Amino acid sequence: MKIAFFTDTYFPNVDGVVFAMESYRKEFEKKGHEVYIFCPGTKEDKKRNTNPRVFYYMASEFKPYPDYKLAIFPFSSITKVRKLKIDIIHCHALATMGLAGYLASKTLKIPCVATYHTQVSEATHYISKGKTFNKLTKSAVWKYCKWYYNLFDAVTTPSEYMGKILKKYNVNSQVFPNGINTKRFQYLESSKTKRKLGLEKYKIAFHVGRLVKEKNIDLIIDSAKSVEKEIPNIKFVFAGDGPARNYYEKRIKEKKVEHLFLFLGMIDQKELPKLYSMADVYIFPSRFDTQGLVAIEAMSCGLPIIGIKNSAVENTIDEGKNGYIFNNNIPSFIFAIKKALKFKTPLQYSMNTAKKYSKEKMAEKMLNLYKSLIKK
């Protein structure tokens, strides 16, 4: 099978969408399928690219969010799709590359799947200021999403939480979770890592991800002083970077809780299983994420999870067995973290939960969808 991924984000960007696509690509190729990636990029991206199955289309920087680019004229990709004799197109995007993928599918009569990866409606603050204008922008985004996703032969989304939201806006979808490498994400001896970071004496509450305002990290910062009164040896450790890092560091100073936080910045992905393993609990305060792969990775390493109510991880948390759910307020957050810290790690129930999301199982499920659409 020849599969084309159309996406608005790809390397050198490092985000959840890229990780999800790469996981699928590797599993599909192991099974003998060919995966071609159509994405936006710069001249430098094109020069650096050594993969003959990756095609970069010239793009301009999206000024409100510089890490992302918009392909200027990606519709020439139709010629490439025709030449490659692609069997199915999978759009992991909803901007210009996504539209190019859809146009290619209709022009060449190829089945086309779209995945709703990102809650763009919750990131409108990058382009609109003020409550009224922001509300209007959100409404416009959802009108576009309804029109766009209803064009496709099938729509997938990675969690039941997102499936319910899409249904609310009259978009029918199927839940196809993204998979993780359960062989890589396992509990590891991490005393050296802990010692190297000077964290031997602490209970570690861990978080991985891009530092952006929509991730609700403010709740952790606002709760920190109160958490310290209940758990004096607590330390909040963050891995990852992003445009809001300075904002969060400033807020931490204002709250006078610098001693409770450690920012590791961008890390080598090979080190991530050790970082999960050294922690005592994983914190997921975001309603923005459509799945929360990092929380499942943490579970795979034996961590209990505390996740915010009405979020993508709510369906993976079995309260009292692999974690707790908290409301978006300080007392509820403190209660959840205290309860979760009573678990002994590694936690077998968390590991068993994560096994359901193995990349092999998830890839096979997606391939079955492709086959059914091609057959139709």
Residue 183 is encoded by which pair of tokens? 């062989």
pLDDT at 197 over 90: yes
Could you tell me the sign of the dihedral formed by the alpha carbons of 193, 198, 202, 208, in that order? Answer: negative
Per-position b or e across 266-284, b if 16+ CB within 10 A of its CB: eeeeeebbbbbbbbbbbbb
Structure tokens at 299: 């579970």
Whether pLDDT at 351 is above 80: yes
Note the pTM of the prediction, 2 decimals. 0.90
Closest CA to 367 of 27, 109, 16, 104: 27
Pick the range with the lowest mean pLDDT from 29-43, 81-95, 134-148, 243-257.
134-148
The Cα 74–Cα 39 span in angstroms is 8
Give the burial class of 1: count Cβ atoms within 10 A of its Cβ; 0-12 exposed, 13-18 middle, 19 or more buried.
Answer: middle
Q: What is the DSSP letter of 153?
A: S
pLDDT at 82 (0 to 100) = 98
First-last CA distance in the chain: 15
Q: What percentage of the chain has pLDDT greater than the value 90?
A: 87
Cβ proximity of 68 and 127 under 8 Å: no
133 pLDDT band (50/70/90 cuts)? Answer: low
**Helices 330-340, 218-230: crossing angle, 10 deg rounding:** 60
Q: How far, in whole angstroms, is CA 241 from its chain's centroid? A: 14
Give tens-digit pLDDT for 75-127.
Answer: 999 999 999 999 999 999 999 999 999 999 999 999 999 999 988 766 655 55
Is the pLDDT at 205 greater than 80, yes or no? yes
Confidence of residue 64 (pLDDT cuts 50, 70, 90): low
Mean pLDDT of 322-330: 98
Give the confidence band of 128 by pLDDT, cuts at 50, 70, 90. Answer: low
Amino acid, single-letter form, for residue 176: F
What pLDDT does 47 receive? Answer: 92
236-256 pLDDT per residue, tens:
999 999 999 999 999 999 999
Q: What is the mean pLDDT of residues 311-320?
A: 96
- Identify the pLDDT of residue 13: 84
- Domains in the chain: ranges and CATH: 2-179+358-375 (3.40.50.2000), 191-355 (3.40.50.2000)
Which of these, 92, 99, 124, lies nearest to 13 by C-alpha position? 92
